[in-house]
Amino acid sequence: MEVLRICGEIPLQGEVNISGSKNAALPQFAATLLSHEKSILKNVPDLSDVQFMGKIISELGADVNQLDKTTWEINPANISHCAPYELVRKMRASICLLGPLVGRLRKAEVPMPGGCVIGQRPIDLHVRALEVLGATVELDKGKVVVDAINLKGSHIFLGGRNGSTVTGTSNAIMAAVLAPGTTKIESAACEPEIIDLCNMLAKMGAMIRGIGSHILQIDGVTHLHGCTHEVIPDRIEAATYAIAAAITKGNILIKNVCTEHLGSFINLINEIGVAVNNSGFNQISVKAEQQSIQSFEVITLPYPGFPTDLQAQCCALACKAQGTSILTERVYPSRFMHVPELLRMGADISMEGASCMVKGGINLIGAPVMASDLRASAALILAGLAAKGKTWVQRIYHLDRGYDSFEKKLQALGANIERVPESKLPKSF
């Protein structure tokens, strides 16, 4: 087991290239199964979740080859409808296999997924969508078993208590593209990752209208062909480096970024006193060298609202802002497991329901902390970059799920951060 050791209070300077989006790549891996033909995915991030998805698809019978660090070739000519439990249990995103297996094979057996501890994240909307399309869905010994021999287009409403479902929308789209007739999906998620999936499916021959809106209309086709597709840049990774510049009073040029995917975040970071400017095609500069960061209020919402995947990182940033910041979580109300760890570093944070109040302007002190999930990992590292002394972040396998070469990219920006064996933890902790 490894940990990250961070010596903080170093302003970050330099350039960083953003990798492809994990949340776009994983459903696109699944989408390749909709065709009998070979597909090539480019700009794929080098992450453990991507490796898991490649192994799962391989276990289903596809011929999967990683041509280089960012390029994958998938030939799904002969696949099974049964996904392997030992791999699926490690990654929640594997539930996105349901849609393509149902669409192409008219049946699926996918174990209930694991890999995430962020409260209740049920699949009821996924099941609802498949049932509306004519499938029979049962839960049998921990497996989602689907019989879709009567699959046909229909009218699907995907609204839920906390808004639309991103992965549920992906599943509904991928099942519908090969379903006879017309499918209308209302309250569809419209995240950039959904748009990218639809654009890929269109290259494969799918007929999808309303891409980028909350209402999609899909005319089913009899078959899809393979394609070559480049994954969009990771908007959450880009924003995380922008926060790294802000929290360390640094100056970072962020390359390979889609600024149109970051509207709510860029608006916030400009408002709190951090200079964000377009610095050429697909790149932004983030400067916080002289500015005092002002307190702020964030309410997470489905896209184009403020991303829930940035709430933890912004919580760390709020510790260094002047005044009291309020962060309210409307997508995953229990997503505050990073707060006790920030308290260990001297943060002043109080909780009230699905909101936390952060009194800023304090000096964070390095400490041993434990990551509970992917974004909490990033938040604790950001806090460590701003803290006095050494911070030790444990359970960094969470980090490797969603950030490509995170500590190496930070090192290139001047951060004093190192991956070391857990045995290096000081005994006094």
Cross-strand pairs, 277: 285
Per-residue pLDDT tens digits for 179-230? 999 999 999 999 999 999 999 999 999 999 999 999 999 999 999 999 999 9
Per-residue pLDDT tens digits for 39-48? 999 999 999 9
Q: In angstroms, rounded to a whole number, what is the distance separating the alpha carbons of residues 42 and 38?
A: 13
Amino acid at 165: T
Indicate whether 37 pLDDT > 90.
Answer: yes
Grade residue 123 by pLDDT with cuts at 50, 70 and 90: confident
Question: Quick one: average pLDDT of 337-343?
Answer: 97
Per-residue pLDDT tens digits for 225-283? 999 999 999 999 999 999 999 999 999 999 999 999 999 999 999 999 999 998 878 99
Per-residue pLDDT tens digits for 132-182? 999 999 988 889 999 999 999 999 999 877 678 999 999 999 999 999 999
Q: Note the pLDDT of residue 428.
A: 65
- Domains of the chain (ranges plus CATH)? 2-18+233-424 (3.65.10.10), 22-230 (3.65.10.10)
Q: In angstroms, rounded to a whole number, what is the distance separating the alpha carbons of residues 366 and 346?
A: 9
Chain centroid, CA 345 distance in Å: 26
Q: Note the pLDDT of residue 281.
A: 85
Under a CB-based contact definition with an 8 Å cutoff, are residues 59 and 84 in contact? Answer: yes
Grade residue 52 by pLDDT with cuts at 50, 70 and 90: very high
Q: Report how far apart, in Å, the C-alpha atoms of 328 and of each of 181, 240, 296, 310, 424 are.
A: 42, 19, 11, 12, 37
Q: Note the pLDDT of residue 121.
A: 53
Q: Of 234, 273, 250, whose CA–CA distance to 401 is shortest? A: 234
Question: Quick one: average pLDDT of 365-391?
Answer: 97
Give the number of other Cβ atoms within 10 Å of residue 227's Cβ: 20
pTM above 0.75, yes or no: yes
* pLDDT more than 90, % of the chain: 86
Per-residue pLDDT tens digits for 69-116? 999 999 999 999 999 988 887 787 889 999 999 999 999 999 887 544
Indicate whether 20 pLDDT > 80.
Answer: yes
Show which residues are catalytic: 116
Give the number of other Cβ atoms within 10 Å of residue 158's Cβ: 24
Q: In angstroms, rounded to a whole number, what is the distance separating the alpha carbons of residues 309 and 24?
A: 14
Q: Of 363, 401, 399, whose CA–CA distance to 381 is shortest? A: 399
Q: Of 154, 141, 65, whose CA–CA distance to 110 is shortest? A: 141
Helix residue ranges, H only, 60-203: 85-88, 98-105, 124-132, 166-176, 192-203
Q: Note the pLDDT of residue 119.
A: 46
* pLDDT more than 70, % of the chain: 97
Class of residue 77 by CB neighbours under 10 A (exposed 0-12, middle 13-18, buried 19+): exposed
